[in-house]
Amino acid sequence: MTETHSPATDPVQLARGMTGVAHRAQRLVAEWLKRQAEAGAPGALNLDPLNIGGAFMEMASRLAASPDKLIKAQLGFWQDYMTLWQHSTRRMMGLESEAPIPLDPRDKRFQDSQWNDNEIFDFIRQSYLLSARFVHDVVRQVDGLPPKTAQKLDFYARQFVDAMSPSNFAMTNPQVLRKTVETGGDNLIRGLNNLLRDLEAGQGKLHIKMTDSESFTVGDNIAVTPGAVVFRNELMELIQYNPTTPEVLQRPLVIFPPWINKFYILDLKPKNSFIRWAVSQGHTVFVASWVNPDERLADKDFADYMKQGVFAALDAIERATGERQVNAIGYCLGGTLLASTLGYMAKMGDHRIESATFLVTLTDFANAGELGVFIDEEQLRGLEEKMAQRGYLEGSEMATTFNMLRANDLIWSFVVNNYLLGNEPFPFDLLYWNSDSTRMPAAMHSFYLRNMYQDNKLAQPNGLALDGVKIDLGAVTVPAYFLSCREDHIAPWMSTYRGAKMLGGKNRFVLAASGHIAGVVNPPEGGKYNHFVHDGLPATAEQWFEQATEVAGSWWPDWQRWVTAKARKKVPARVPGDGALSVLAHAPGTYVKVRSV
């Protein structure tokens, strides 16, 4: 009888696989050493660009000065550990026992049944969670730390704790152990090859492949709503979409997405495309598709995005439709730009924007959430030095920052899937968009971080100046619709609520479930995620939520009722190219197809 081997236990196959891995790894190390030599002497490198070391040193000195809380936390930790030992002993003896830390069904790391059914893995899981709780308790109970330092400590302590999860290691993950036995270790060989592939793609830095990028093509199976580019300058292509109704609302709708990412988050697939849905509701929809900048646009600042973005779009829309007044939507950073522009227009007596919608938009950055961890003088100087060398912030660096806000979902889950289980990532349109990052011009990004995040000038009357004009958001009387999301880590909803109170017009605030993306991209047909509404704006966000009414499903119909109530008149449908502007390219245009990586 002939003996058979699985691919990983076949000696010849195993030898070939390991030889290939060794050659690729050797080449990566050689290339990394070469880049370090070209960068200069090791002593010149900043080994702590995020200034984490200083924050932890300050925490250590505070603990040393007042050790009683540390001692108390340690005693509590050992008491918890003794309870865990007793629990595990009882389970091994076949006795019933209540777990000190019950299994949380929301924690995706421990969804495999063995984390609960097997006494050993149950002990490993609870031991880790007890240790994690101890670390967080120590960090959060240090007295006398500046708020920014305390926030930084808490954030990076969580990064460390998340990284140390037993689910992230082959020998303590039951799912990985089971897969290793089933495949004879083939999953680990495939995972190692996946790891080397991602290191090669990132030129020595880990660029985790989150989705099957070959399954998607912009303009082919995502960003497919029919339309045309009718205007282009060095910062923006303006797309006008084909109508699907015989008549349309007289007042056009223009959308300004963030230029941190590509615009097609609002046009992923036909079933979840806000753009396609807005067209079907009778809007003449225009969208700014921002350029993916390189070093040639290094000196473009925030005011340039106002002039060559918002104002250029308004001029082009008037030429294309004959309409001077528009409804405008700004998403995230695009919303911050829209609010700033409205402040400028209020000072200049420009009334072309008749209504404004702000999707998960910060205008008051006093409490900007965990992104504030990355904004201090040391980090800003380091970032500006890096941007000065090449003229822009690389898109992958910004993407890494956002991924760290949800590390378990956007980093470690892929480490387990790709490198330990040896799987290929699943094709997912949202993750493809997430990996299609864009660069940021050096001057613009520095202005944005310093004036908004660091100094919060937009929230101060006449605190921010654009193109020499000081801005007061209180002077903006345009009716505004604010959409925020309860689980938003990027634009915390209680902070965005302060923005709704800041503008001087009659404003509506709506709170959707879920996060920064899923709460916004929530079509009515999907039947997902509720939202909360309130006709007033009480003094605080807490009061608003207490008085708000919960409504099932998407917020999109609520917005449609709000915006159409401002102007219901209709005109014959407008086709791109029929006005004074000719068609330059089919949607989604050319700028959106320029990839950073």
Enumerate the active-site residues.
Answer: 332
Structure-block tokens of residue 414: 């892929």
Beta-strand relationship, 469-471 and 480-485: unpaired
Token pair 């990004």 in the structure block, residue: 445
Task: Please check whether residue 397 is in contact with residue 374, taking contact to mean a CB–CB distance below 8 angstroms.
Answer: no
Which residue, 515, 524, 527, 528, is CA-closest to 559? Answer: 524
Q: How far from the centroid of its chain's Cα atoms is residue 547's Cα?
A: 30
Q: Taking the alpha carbons of 222, 228, 232, 238 in that order, is the dihedral positive or negative?
A: negative
Burial class of residue 597, CB neighbours in 10 A (0-12, 13-18, 19+): middle
Which tokens belong to 219? 């303009």
Beta bridge partners of 585: 229
Peptide linkage before 538 cis (omega within 30 of 0):
no
Take residue 30 and report the two structure tokens written for it: 């050689």
527-536: buried (b, 16+ CB within 10 Å) or exposed (e) per residue?
A: ebbbbbebee
Handedness of CA 390, 401, 433, 237 (dihedral sign): negative
Q: Rounded distance, CA 15 to CA 2, Å? A: 21
d(CA 262, CA 282): 24
Rounded Cα gap, residues 58 and 262, in angstroms? 40
Query: Which is nearest to 310 in space by CA: 294, 291, 287, 279?
Result: 287
Which residues have a Cβ under 8 Å from the Cβ of 327 and sit 6 or more positions away? 251, 252, 253, 254, 283, 353, 354, 355, 356, 357, 563, 566, 567
Q: 353-359 and 480-485: which strand pairing? A: parallel
CA distance 458 to 465: 9
Report the alpha-carbon distance of residue 26 to residue 23 in Å, rounded.
5
Question: Whole-angstrom Cα distance, residue 286 to residue 252?
Answer: 8
What is the DSSP code string of 199-228?
HHHTTTS-----S-GGG--BTTTBS---EE
Buried b (16+ CB within 10 A) or exposed e, 320-357: bbebebbbbbbbbbbbbbbbbbbbbbbbeeeebbbbbb
